[in-house]
Structure 1
């Protein structure tokens, strides 16, 4: 009888690398997001720093993947298969050393065990050859398929700007509960403001330690993500539906602007976080857990904000996994769903009321095309053009009065996430 019991691998740091490998496999093979994959991949890892390290390794691999592969291929006589485990482990090794500055000996000690029973000698040889050759971190690059798609949509300068944005840590944007405090808040926090009610800081440490957090003076929200709610203006006690609302940045914006907000989301877990944010910031909203395709309000609202589920390609600089999870078929599927949701939400707007449609996507198919088809089919609505003075300086509406933010915009001030938004008015 074998009385041996399994024991954890004694190699310090190995569990974090194993988790990173599992996360990357989930993204590349199963199309999961890193956030979703992290939960299963980090089971059994209690140390928060180890979980954060696993996430950082996976993120850096995805941020630099095309360049890492070129380096690997330069040192192998026969190319490794795209999905070969040895290739992924080498990506992890290079990301650790070149991006996260892990000493090479520590990288070897924690990564080669990932290839137990596999080509460890090959991985060791390729990594060692690259280190001896003085390899440096390659500039971030978009995957070729994404670069080609965005070049066709928006032009080569946009695709080049997206590559730069991929390698530039995004700043920290704070949305203020009281826009009248903007100048003072920017001075107190050592930041800059690009529009009233906003303060931008360099990437900081713990969010909870920034002045004003406990008091609920602000919440974290990318500047581009804050624009759709701004398009509804002051609430003055009127009713607004915030659909697909969690984690709640737009809900808090609307409540702070004087709207009576009903916030709907299909995830109770995400709504719990929204309620926590409302409590911290002292804002009030009615929250409802429901499927938007099944729920309907008791009465029409003065305004509806639909921040529709989308490919999320616009937030690639924060979530580089979207560059590898999202293919044209996913974009097409989401566009079909968005059209259904927009048509449904339009029935809940009072005559004369406003409907804002928004997506954090860089795909025209999910933005401009959805709105164009909707307006062609529904004569009740017309575009209510956004004015330049409603937007940060350097962001302009298009010829129809819709808003599209792209990589490269406000780059000297830290850039923007990619968004599309249109404000529609229900005809009297």
Structure 2
């Protein structure tokens, strides 16, 4: 069946078609990510400040996020329909990306997709944008079921993990993933949803979390199953646990629910506000210290220390596809150096015989395996303590040396999980 043909849409100088403000906001979001290197979520408030109402903000976010999921394939279509390649930062390219992703992926009628983006290039090559879009619609252009990854990312990950990982990553980015919930009480049964681990439920992408039973009572919080693994390695306890770099607090809540007396440390007052909100809703007690972990000192070394270190965050690309365009090798190297400093300070906070768990939501070996090697080489009083039977949910892989490394493809049949590196080490007594 032939696709509907685009109309001539917006008339230059006339009023913008209904829905154009959301597309302007999507353009601002994409510009923030691709040109200025900002995180999509961080750019959202400023980019959508002129919009009225949540639906328009949600639409702008959905357009931008889907564009980032499909960017290499969208650009391939555009490049195949233009005689001269448009610059990467050209407004015409951005407008075409937004129009095409709506028509080919989000189900927007082509006439609406083009009419709402033409005002974005007023004073520019509107005829070019309209013509390229019309050419592709008449040719019944389509996007592949499995998106292409950015070429530099695919090359880097292929060198580190092989072709299978890259193929799995492409499948994983095709659509927003399901949402995982960590339960305050493992025995709570207020939500009928799959469970992949103790104190865990998995609900579909797009679920209104605040409308679920138990939300107001603090029965659960949102936390990817991979992100729940570091705290699981500390088990139950009744002593002191330090959660360094703690916000937004999912691991802090896990430790408190497991009986630890937790101090959560984070340098940001705004992130600490989220810690307080989570603490109040969950009614789980823990202390909060607003401090730079590189300067902060505990009153005494602790038997349990958790470091979910700042990182490139490439492991959360399924939920945040913008990281694929922001986390370049320079960022990875900078984060690895910061992690080394944090780990050195964290080691001093571990009591003799105590346990340190180091984690990053990164798919870069420099922020995982290589970082662990550096740490052990510099701290001869620490040794790996591999996971024991029963400590991890089924399907979570343990490396030959006893670390956890989740990759695209882990738990794929059940909906997948974020990419994480996790190592547990113990200090000699």
Q: TM-score, normalised by structure 1?
A: 0.94
**Conservation of the 8 A alpha-carbon contact between 1:86 and 1:115:** yes
Q: Distance in 1 between matches of 2:41 and 2:191?
A: 29
SS of 2:33's equivalent in the other structure is: helix
Q: CA deviation at 1:200?
A: 1.3
Partner Cα distance (1:113, 1:199) in 2: 44
Q: CA deviation at 1:204?
A: 4.4
2:403 is aligned to: 402
Tell me how far 1:9 sits from its aligned partner: 5.9
1:291 paired with 2:296, answer no
Task: Indicate the residue corresponding to 1:195 in structure 2.
Answer: 197
Contact kept, 8 Å, 1:11 with 1:110, in 2: the verdict is yes
Asked if the contact 1:354–1:425 (Cα under 8 Å) also holds between the matched residues in 2, the reply is yes
What are the residue-to-residue correspondences of 1:120-131 with 2, within 5 Å?
A: 120-131=126-137
Find the aligned partners of 2:296 and 2:427 in 1 and give their Cα distance.
Answer: 21
Residue 102 (structure 1) aligned with residue 104 (structure 2)? no
Measure, in 2, the Cα distance between the counterparts of 1:170 and 1:154: 22
Does 1:345 pair with 2:346?
A: yes
- Whole-angstrom CA distance in 2 between matches of 1:204 and 1:58: 16
Match of 2:70 among 60, 64, 88: 64
Q: For 1:299 and 1:9, how far apart are their aligned partners in 2?
A: 66
Write out aligned runs for 1:89-238 (5 A): 89-138=95-144, 139-181=146-188, 185=189, 188-236=190-238, 238=239
Provide Cα deviations, 1:122-177, integer angstroms capped at 9, x if missing partner: 00011111111112233322101000111110110000000000003311111111
1:388–1:163: structure 2 CA closer, same or farther, 3 Å change rule?
farther
Q: Per-residue deviation at 1:178?
A: 1.2
Contiguous gaps of at least 5 residues in structure 1: 1-6
Deviation for aligned residue 1:8:
12
Any conservation in 1 of the 2:230–2:357 contact (CA below 8 Å)?
yes
The answer on whether the counterparts of 1:387 and 1:401 sit within 8 Å (CA) in structure 2 is no
**How far 1:205 sits from its partner (Å)?**
2.8
CA pair 35-61 structure 1, distance change in 2 beyond 3 A? same
1:26-80 CA-to-partner distances (Å, cap 9, x unmatched) read: 1111111101111221122231111111111110111000100111111111221
**TM-aligned CA deviation for residue 326 of structure 1:** 1.1
Give the number of aligned pairs: 416
| 1:189 CA displacement | 2.5
Indicate if the aligned counterparts of 1:388 and 1:395 stay in contact, CA closer than 8 A: no
Q: Tell me the equivalent position of 2:368.
A: 367
The whole-number CA distance in structure 2 between the counterparts of 1:317 and 1:13 is 27
Q: Aligned residue for 2:83?
A: 77
Partner Cα separation in structure 1 for residue 361 and residue 127 of structure 2 = 44
1:397 Cα offset (Å): 1.3
On the 8 A contact 2:256/2:285 being kept in 1, the answer is yes
| Contact 2:237–2:260 (8 Å) recurs in 1 | yes
| Structure 2 residue 15 is the aligned partner of structure 1 residue 13 | no
Q: Deviation at 1:202?
A: 2.0
Distance 1:358 1:8 in 2: 54
List aligned pairs for 1:271-290, cutoff 5 A.
271-290=272-291
Q: Please, which moves more after superposition, 163-172 or 333-342?
A: 163-172
- Match of residue 44 from structure 1: 50
Larger deviation, residues 262-271 vs 357-366: 262-271
CA distance in 1, matches of 2:228, 2:66: 27
**TM-score, normalization by structure 2:** 0.94
Give 1:4's aligned residue.
Answer: none
CA gap 1:402/1:255 in 2 versus in 1, 3 angstroms: same
Query: Alpha-carbon deviation of 1:388?
Result: 4.4
- The answer to whether residue 93 in structure 2 is matched with residue 87 in structure 1 is yes
Choose between structure 1 and 2: higher helix proportion: 1
Please list the CA deviations of residues 250-303 of structure 1 after superposition, one character each: whole Å capped at 9, or x if unmatched. 011000000001011112112111211111111111012111122211211111
2: CA distance, partners of 1:331 / 1:36: 19
